[in-house]
């Protein structure tokens, strides 16, 4: 591949040449994907089908769940298939699609976490103006703006990455991650892609500052609450948000700013898993499962499911 400038396909990271270990990785990824997809789908169904959750806070939670489901669906199934089929291949078009969708969903995640922090700031610090500021028209505009911005950023990233010739097709990661693709470039420094990366990190840092400022204002308001229980409840809601977003920002910066290893590295793999797979699993648990309204709705969904399952089971037994 040394003298080639175009590649028909890429070879993704092979976790192991041992067939039993490959199957083990398949089952681990399958369990991770099943858990992440189930928790996020539960949130989506709960918000969509129950009128009591039709307000801006749960609307943004639902959109965050959609993005998280998209992130894991873009990267995990292909890696699972490769482990199961004992192959490493991903087509050139498949790699392009993976980069575009992953970057778009990941960007949306950053924006929705920021919007959720602002939503809580308005609700806690300016409760009398909440309905006027966070009305459905404003929420719809925010979602459309986030979607368009994320897609545009995904297109810029994808164009910048694949506008260069590649001298190799061996990607030292379990999906088409941009830093590892840039390492394969024949031309070395890519002005367009590096410019897009700088713009992305500037935007991510701006989101982090907005979230931090929002929660500083929230903490100041919470400290005025006379009830100790009320303060603890507010802090328990805010701190996990800051922890997850900080982890997402730091690990993604480390993954993209750190020079990728020339050979497969456990450190590179760890950073990638921390920013790409862990937040989609933890987000629905932290932001939704601890919420009483969500838990009540999920309990009702579970009762409905068990009722219909028992009904059909008895119906089949009669026949």
| Predicted pLDDT at 153 | 92
CA 106 to CA 253: how far, in whole Å? 13
How does pLDDT run across 301-317, given as a tens digit for each residue? Answer: 777 767 666 766 666 66
Where does residue 253 rank: exposed (0-12), middle (13-18), buried (19+ CB within 10 A)? Answer: middle
How much is the average pLDDT of 110-126?
89
Please count the other Cβ atoms lying within 10 Å of the Cβ belonging to residue 316: 8
On the question of pLDDT at 4 being above 50, the answer is no
Q: Average the pLDDT over 106-125 and give the result.
A: 90
Residues 212-256: pLDDT tens digits?
Answer: 888 888 888 877 777 776 666 666 666 667 777 777 777 777 777
pLDDT at 3 over 60: no
Q: Rounded to an integer, what distance in angstroms lies between the CA atom of residue 263 and that of residue 266? A: 10
Q: Are 117 and 214 in contact (CB under 8 A)?
A: yes
Higher pLDDT pick, 290 / 124 = 124
Handedness of CA 51, 54, 57, 62 (dihedral sign): positive
- pLDDT tens for residues 145-169? 999 999 999 999 898 888 888 888 9
Residue with tokens 């506008």: 163
> How many angstroms separate the CA atoms of 206 and 214, rounded?
12
Residue 9 has pLDDT above 80, yes or no: yes
Contact between 272 and 173 (Cβ < 8 Å): yes
Taking residue 232's Cβ as centre, other Cβ atoms within 10 Å add up to 12
Rounded distance, CA 166 to CA 268, Å? 21
The span from the CA of 84 to the CA of 150, in Å, is: 32
**Two structure tokens written together for 304:** 């409905």
With CA atoms as reference, report the closest residue to 157 among 71, 95, 109. 95
The contacts of residue 128 (CB under 8 Å, 6+ apart) are none
* Whether the Cβ atoms of residue 203 and residue 110 lie closer than 8 Å to each other: yes
Sign of CA dihedral 213, 214, 216, 217: positive
pTM for this structure? 0.87
Q: Read off the pLDDT of residues 61-105 as tens digits, 9 standing for 90 and up.
A: 899 999 999 999 999 999 999 988 889 999 999 999 999 999 999
Percent of the chain with pLDDT over 90: 29
Measured CA to CA, the distance from residue 114 to residue 267 in angstroms comes to 28
How many other CB atoms sit within 10 Å of the CB of residue 265?
14
Query: Predicted confidence band at 283 (pLDDT cuts at 50, 70, 90)?
Result: confident
Query: Which residue, among 108, 34, 28, has the nearest Cα to 72 in the 3D structure?
Result: 34
């Amino acid at each position: 591949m040394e003298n080639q400038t175009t590649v028909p396909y890429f070879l993704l990271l092979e976790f192991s040449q041992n067939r039993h270990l490959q199957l083990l990785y398949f089952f681990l990824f399958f369990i991770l994907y099943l858990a992440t997809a189930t928790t996020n789908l539960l949130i989506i169904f709960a918000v969509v089908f129950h009128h009591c959750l039709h307000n801006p806070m749960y609307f943004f939670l639902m959109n965050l769940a959609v993005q998280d489901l998209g992130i894991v669906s873009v990267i995990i199934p292909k890696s699972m298939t490769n482990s199961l089929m004992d192959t490493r291949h991903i087509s050139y078009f498949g790699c392009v699609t993976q980069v575009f969708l992953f970057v778009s969903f990941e960007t949306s995640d950053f924006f929705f976490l920021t919007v959720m922090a602002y939503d809580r700031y308005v609700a806690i610090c300016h409760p009398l103006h909440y309905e006027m500021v966070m009305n459905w028209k404003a929420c719809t505009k925010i979602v459309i703006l986030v979607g368009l911005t994320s897609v545009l950023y995904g297109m810029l990233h994808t164009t910048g990455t694949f506008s260069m010739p590649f001298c190799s097709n061996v990607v030292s990661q379990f999906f088409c991650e941009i830093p590892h693709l840039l390492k394969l470039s024949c031309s070395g420094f890519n002005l367009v892609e590096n410019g897009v990366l700088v713009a992305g990190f500037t935007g991510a840092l701006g989101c982090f500052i907005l979230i931090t400022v929002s929660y500083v204002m929230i903490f100041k308001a919470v400290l005025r609450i006379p009830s100790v229980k009320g303060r603890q409840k507010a802090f328990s809601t805010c701190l996990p948000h800051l922890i997850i977003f900080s982890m997402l920002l730091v690990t993604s910066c480390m993954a993209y700013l750190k020079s990728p290893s020339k050979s497969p590295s456990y450190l590179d793999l760890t950073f990638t898993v921390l920013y790409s797979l862990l937040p989609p699993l933890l987000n629905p648990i932290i932001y939704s499962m601890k919420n009483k309204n969500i838990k009540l709705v999920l309990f009702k969904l579970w009762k409905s499911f068990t009722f219909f399952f028992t009904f059909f089971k008895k119906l089949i037994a009669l026949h």
